Amino acid sequence: MRIKTLLLSAVAMMLMSACGSKQYYSPKQTYQVSPKSGVELVSLSRDAALLADGTVLSKQGILKLKLDKGYALINREPESLLVADKEGNAKIINKAGTTVDIHLPQALVAGTVIGKKLVYILQDNSFGVYDLSSQKIVYNNNAQKALSIDTRIANPYQIDNLVVIPTLNGKLVILDLGSLKVVKEIYVSTESILNNVIFLGRLGNTLIAATPYRVISVSSQGQRSFDKSLSEVVLDDKSVFVFAKDGMISQLDDSLNVLNEKKFKFAHFSVATIQNGKIYAMDKQGYLIVSNKELTKQKVYELPEIDGYSFVAGDKLYYDGNIVDLASLSYE
């Protein structure tokens, strides 16, 4: 009995020590901001969020769209919206309001409509091409299953007649849409869990991709990498901005060389964006950092601690039933 008591005491002390050792971002000076009341966020993806009243948010702002129950926005494109449920049903909603119904063998988690084709990634990490004219799958690849994934799943990205497909196990598959043949495969990172591609974009002629563990750039000059446990990646027209889990914000060039860095000790970023020439990064405790792109000037605004999802739509930050006007905040 005495040994059991000692063991329990030791475990309790270890737990208390672990809880007590957790440290938080604590800025020296903060400024107040008054958010407006809004509606709770109930779901979140890489490029979209859903409010409790059915309103859909995209990176660009509020969409005039009410989704059917069980559906979520997968991708917003210039001429259409791609939505899907968890049963393998998907819909393409065109600007005119017409809908194309699609049924896939697994739930759609990412996809991009390119001409008359839907390039898809399914829940089991299979990916392929669905022909909208013939209403059937014309290419499918059963990739290795991913044990667990980050919910911010990147969508396929078109480059001329090629499409870059970001898989759920950290790999980029470059597919020729004409021949439906794989041109190249590139591993971003090879971690065993939470290793899906969470960001995919282009800076000039350079492809930028990231998992939660690494950022890579691919160009005619070759492939470069930037290893970091990261929360978010954002591009502007000249730079790559990496928001790391250790509180570091890094501005990189297209070859992933560090241009500027600033560490906000113990900050845990829940959302980050660049708007109107300013960096906005929100710590999970509710501290909203506003900085210039060179990371030489900052102001920190204090908001209530974040309990749920947070998302930036246009120049508005949505979180916990609140809306913050980012355009009204400055680093000066």
Residues 87-146: tens digit of each pLDDT? 999 999 987 778 999 999 999 999 999 999 999 999 999 999 999 999 999 999 988 888
What's the confidence (pLDDT) of residue 293? 97
Instruction: Determine how many CB atoms are found less than 10 A away from the CB of residue 280.
Output: 23
Is 289 a member of any domain?
yes
Q: What is the CATH number of the domain that holds 246?
A: 2.130.10.10
Q: Give how many domains the chain has, as a whole number.
A: 1
Query: 212-237 pLDDT, tens per residue?
Result: 999 999 999 999 999 999 999 999 99
The identity of residue 287, as a single letter, is: Y
Is 316 a member of any domain?
yes
Q: Give the integer Cα–Cα distance in Å for 81 and 86.
A: 17
- Whether residue 1 has pLDDT greater than 90: no
Rounded to two decimals, the pTM is 0.90
DSSP annotation string for 223-288: EEEEE--EEEEEE-SS-EEEEETTSEEEEE-TT--EEEEEE-TT--EEEEEEETTEEEEEETTSEE
With a CB cutoff of 8 Å and minimum separation 6, the contacts of 115 are none
Q: Give the integer Cα–Cα distance in Å for 282 and 312.
A: 11
Mean model confidence pLDDT for the chain: 90
Is 295 a member of any domain?
yes
**What's the whole-number mean pLDDT along residues 299-306?**
89
Share of residues in the chain with pLDDT > 70 (%):
94
Q: Give the integer Cα–Cα distance in Å for 170 and 143.
A: 11
Is 200 a member of any domain?
no
**Confidence bin at 77 (pLDDT 50/70/90):** confident
Is 283 a member of any domain?
yes
What's the confidence (pLDDT) of residue 21? 58
Is 258 a member of any domain?
yes
What's the confidence (pLDDT) of residue 96? 74
42 phi, psi to nearest 5 deg:
-115, -20
Is 280 a member of any domain?
yes
Is 74 a member of any domain?
no
What's the confidence (pLDDT) of residue 18? 47
Write out the residue range of the structural domain in which residue 304 sits.
25-42+234-332
